[in-house]
Structure 1
Amino acid sequence: MTNTYTGQADWHPSFIIIGAVKAATTWALEQLQVNPALFMPDPEPHYFSSEFEQGEDYYRAFFEAQAGSERMLGEKSADYLAHPQAAQRIAAMLPHARLVVQFRNPIERAYSDYKMLYRRGTVKEGPEAYLASLDNPQPRFLNDGLYALHLRRWLDHFPAEQIHSFLYDDVKAQPQATIEAISAHIGVDPVFDVGQSRKKANNASERFLPLPVRKVLAPLKSTIAPLRGTALFESTRSMFAREIAYPPLSSELRLRLRDFYADDVADLGQMLGRDLSDWLDVTQSGAKQGNDREKHKKVA
């Protein structure tokens, strides 16, 4: 069945959160999922990026149960923003889709992405091995934060009015207003769950299960997901979870990252009409990281 207004199949998503990775895309997903007028699958399809070769039937499976319903369909795959072919692929299938993108300080984003793969055991060396230049086994750490470069590619395929952008800082400062703006962009009445927002804030933690345990539980991720947040689950998890001692991001490396991103940050600021100069204030960021380490020492 085809939507006569858009010319698209009725299982096609009407909006997509395209990234960036480690910029609070999961927060936006879970807030939008609270809205009964919307349907978004929990797993990231990654169809227009890493899973494109699986074909359209793979993508349809995420939405076909909702086809023909009154709910607006959407999805979130945070790697779309930086993927070199995602914009062209989405434009070919979903030219009318409303796009949502959020940006985070690229220095903090790169280090957060590094920490995620470090705790997974994918990378084992310190951040200098991966964040000093693009010539390393994980160039995504640096490349994914070149937001202006990536956004221009999307603007080659979509008009600016179809792309709504906001900052990680907006989520922290004005979470409800952020959701209201996203909802207006995709065309639904906003629903904001204060409890959901607080739960995410309370559950934000640097404590994780030991890596061998996480690897054993990985195949059960979807089964375990509904239990998260329950008293029994959280109390059991707290018995075994430990804080990970990440290799720190040195002041010298922060300066190199500032220089690496300076031009792109300036370009993005002009594109968005926003002052992003705080992103390049490495003195402030370094001081915050030092204070966080001192807090952790006191707790320990």
Structure 2
Amino acid sequence: MSGSLSFLGLGAQKSGSTWLYFMLREHPGLYLPPVKELHFWDRDRALGLDWYRAQFAPAPAGTKAGEITPAYAILSHELIAEVRREFPDIRLLYLMRNPVERAWSGALMAVPRAEMTVEEASDQWFIDHFNSAGSRCRGDYKSCMQAWLRQFEGERLRWFLYDEVVADPRAVLMGCADHLGVDPGFFRDLPEEKLNARYNEGTGVPIRPSLHAYLARLYRPQILALQDYLKRDLSAWLEANDRAMGTAPKSWLDRLLGR
């Protein structure tokens, strides 16, 4: 039915969701609102379900409507249950990135909000941010998926790695189209210049070696758990993080870890 919600993009934050939003908007069989992140379920629930449904009312007849808000990945069990009650037939998309890189990118986004430059932010400021509940939850992909899959059948959620977006964006988009029930052939024929457009690029500031080592140690258990859960080889993430730990002086790493 035109105007009804057919899909949600869940995140993760800083994992290519802006690119995905603009690419899906290209498809004639899909409708996404002009605003990428509606933040209804995590922030603006008080606006009411009538307001939310109205955001998809302009969808042309025969299209499938949805939205992408990365913060939905960490919704409470109660809110996910409400999504299920209101929209039981939706499909879910979830992008994931090496959580070390995601945590760094997320922290860089928070620096100007703290009215600082990156140079002014101390290692300890970054460490405090990395250990905040919001940052840790956003990087715990296994728990995020499990929360949604308590309410939705497994076949309703399709996940992709940010690495796949970088290596073969066309295949990712065709996989998304197939999952959403629209013609994947549109993305097969999409020109390269559209396919490789860049959106919402980060600052490009590299991770400080000390902080890279800290994050690598922090997220290693979760990456290993995710690897087992997905039955997907994540050795590229682990090896990149292991190299970071190997290059950091032990005394430096011990100090950062509070030893």
TM surpasses 0.5: yes
Unaligned runs of 5+ in 2: 247-259
Q: 37, 40, 47: which one pairs with 1:47? A: 40
In 2, distance between residues paired with 1:117 and 1:278? 27
**TM-score, with structure 1 as normaliser:** 0.71
Instruction: Summarize the Cα distance change of 1:283–1:258 in structure 2 as closer, same or farther, 3 Å threshold.
Output: closer
1:267 Cα shift?
A: 1.8
Which is worse superposed, 183-192 or 170-179? 183-192
User: In the alignment, is residue 13 of structure 1 matched against residue 13 of structure 2?
Assistant: no
Which is worse superposed, 83-92 or 40-49? 83-92
Q: Which of structures 1 and 2 has the larger relative contact order (alpha carbons within 8 angstroms, sep 6+)?
A: 2
Which is worse superposed, 36-45 or 276-285? 276-285
In 2, distance between residues paired with 1:90 and 1:119? 33
Is contact 1:48–1:89 with CA below 8 Å preserved after alignment?
no
In 1, distance between residues paired with 2:171 and 2:75? 29
User: In the alignment, is residue 102 of structure 1 matched against residue 126 of structure 2?
Assistant: no
Instruction: Summarize the Cα distance change of 1:31–1:93 in structure 2 as closer, same or farther, 3 Å threshold.
Output: same
Instruction: Summarize the Cα distance change of 1:184–1:120 in structure 2 as closer, same or farther, 3 Å threshold.
Output: same
In 1, distance between residues paired with 2:146 and 2:202? 34
In 1, distance between residues paired with 2:72 and 2:145? 11
1:254 Cα shift?
A: 2.3
Is contact 1:134–1:143 with CA below 8 Å preserved after alignment?
no
Q: How does 1:153-192 map to 2 (within 5 A)?
A: 153-190=147-184, 191-192=186-187
1:132 Cα shift?
A: 4.9
In 2, distance between residues paired with 1:167 and 1:25? 11
In 2, distance between residues paired with 1:267 and 1:30? 32
Is contact 1:149–1:264 with CA below 8 Å preserved after alignment?
no
1:28 Cα shift?
A: 0.9
Is contact 2:102–2:139 with CA below 8 Å preserved after alignment?
yes
Number of aligned residues: 236
Q: Which amino acid in the other structure matches residue 161 of structure 2?
A: L
Unaligned runs of 5+ in 1: 4-9, 207-243, 288-300
State the partner residue of 1:264: 222
State the partner residue of 2:197: 199
Q: 98, 101, 112: which one pairs with 2:105? A: 112
SS at match of 2:70: coil
Identity rate, percent: 28
Deviation string 1:139-198 (CA, Å, 9 cap, x unpaired) is 322321011111111111111100000000000111101101111001000222322223
Is contact 1:164–1:182 with CA below 8 Å preserved after alignment?
yes
Q: Which amino acid in the other structure matches residue 277 of structure 1?
A: S
Q: Which amino acid in the other structure matches residue 180 of structure 1?
A: M
Instruction: Summarize the Cα distance change of 1:135–1:123 in structure 2 as closer, same or farther, 3 Å threshold.
Output: farther
Q: Which amino acid in the other structure matches residue 108 of structure 1?
A: E
In 2, distance between residues paired with 1:97 and 1:283? 38
State the partner residue of 1:22: 14
In 2, distance between residues paired with 1:127 and 1:27? 30
Q: 122, 127, 132: which one pairs with 1:131? A: 127
State the partner residue of 1:61: 54
SS at match of 1:258: helix
Is contact 1:128–1:253 with CA below 8 Å preserved after alignment?
no
Q: 123, 134, 145: which one pairs with 2:139? A: 145
In 1, distance between residues paired with 2:115 and 2:157? 33
In 1, distance between residues paired with 2:12 and 2:50? 26
In 2, distance between residues paired with 1:263 and 1:78? 23
Q: Which amino acid in the other structure matches residue 51 of structure 1?
A: D
SS at match of 2:139: coil
In 1, distance between residues paired with 2:18 and 2:131? 29
- What is the root-mean-square deviation in Å for CA atoms of aligned residues? 2.6
Is contact 2:11–2:70 with CA below 8 Å preserved after alignment?
yes
1:259 Cα shift?
A: 2.4
State the partner residue of 1:249: 207
